[in-house]
Amino acid sequence: MCCRNELCPFSELGPGVGPPSSAIPTCLATDLPQRVTFEPGHVLFLQGQSSSTLYSLIDGIVKICSHTADGHEQIVGLSSPDNLLVGVQSMNENRYAYTAVAATHVTACRISHRDLLAHMHDNPDLALHLIDAANAQLAHSRALMEVMGLTCASAKIASLILLLTPKTMHGNCGFAMPLSRREIANILGLSEETVCRLMANMKRSGAIYAPRGKMEIRNWRQLQSISAGAHLDYHTH
């Protein structure tokens, strides 16, 4: 099966015709995926639900959430087409360990755990690609943990914005911000008021432009400087 999602961990460029840039990726999980879409706020699966499928994202952002015994929701990760499979951790488990919710409009390939595991016996390359996907997830999780571990609130926010920025983005092009101010505060352990104030300061300084639901990085060097701990008058009292 041919697919133009070159970021998918199950994608392998075929020989194609003409120069390499025109090559069409071939899906190693032939005949297994089912194309599905989710609107913002729709649930892919729930924590504790019987585990049966994983999702390879084609477009959009998915929030990974954990729920405590008292019902509190904590965002513990984010998935985008260039880093994660959603649900891969639960392939050998009976139930999902977290809830996955579409933060934006999401298009994905849904693949049965059982079918994928059976397909690996005939196509060992699938296992290697799955390992690569798991490694990408670990790298993304480490990056998010490093952001959360920063002591400067403005550095946390700037670093999270950079982490959310699509890797294919160049210049000052804007992108959809998948998180509300409250959700950013939830992830970073800050108050919503602090997040609003510091993002407003970044906007006034010319580093970003952030209308509701959107993000535009207008000064990459300045935002990177803020993420490294150099900031303006960004007090958090």
Residue 68 maps to which CATH number?
2.60.120.10
Q: Are residues 61 and 123 in the same domain?
A: yes
Query: In sequence order, which residues have a C-beta less than 8 Å from that of residue 234 and are 6 or more positions away?
Result: 152, 153, 154, 198, 201, 226
Q: Are residues 51 and 101 in the same domain?
A: yes
Determine the straight-line distance between the first and last CA of the chain, rounded to whole angstroms. 56
Would you call 189 helix, strand, or coil by DSSP?
coil
Based on the structure, what is the number of domains in the chain? 2
pLDDT for 37 beyond 80: yes
What value does the mean pLDDT take over residues 225-236?
67
Q: Is 70 exposed, middle or buried (0-12, 13-18, 19+ CB in 10 A)?
A: exposed
| Owner of token pair 């994202």 | 57
Domain interval for residue 94: 11-144
What value does the mean pLDDT take over residues 178-196?
92
Higher pLDDT, 123 or 1: 123
Amino acid at 33: P
Residue 189 lies in a domain: yes
Beta carbons within 10 angstroms of residue 18's beta carbon: 7
pLDDT at 128: 80
pLDDT for 191 beyond 80: yes
Separation CA 90–CA 97 (nearest Å): 7
What value does the mean pLDDT take over residues 159-182?
80
Residue 221 maps to which CATH number?
1.10.10.10
Identify whether the C-beta of residue 64 lies closer than 8 Å to the C-beta of residue 98.
yes
What value does the mean pLDDT take over residues 165-181?
76
Per-residue pLDDT tens over the stretch 102-120: 988 999 988 888 888 887 7
From 144, 175, 210, the end of a domain falls on 144
Query: In sequence order, which residues have a C-beta less than 8 Å from that of residue 99 and are 6 or more positions away?
Result: 43, 45, 46, 47, 64, 65, 66, 67, 73
DSSP state for residue 230 in the 8-state scheme: -
Would you call 19 helix, strand, or coil by DSSP?
coil
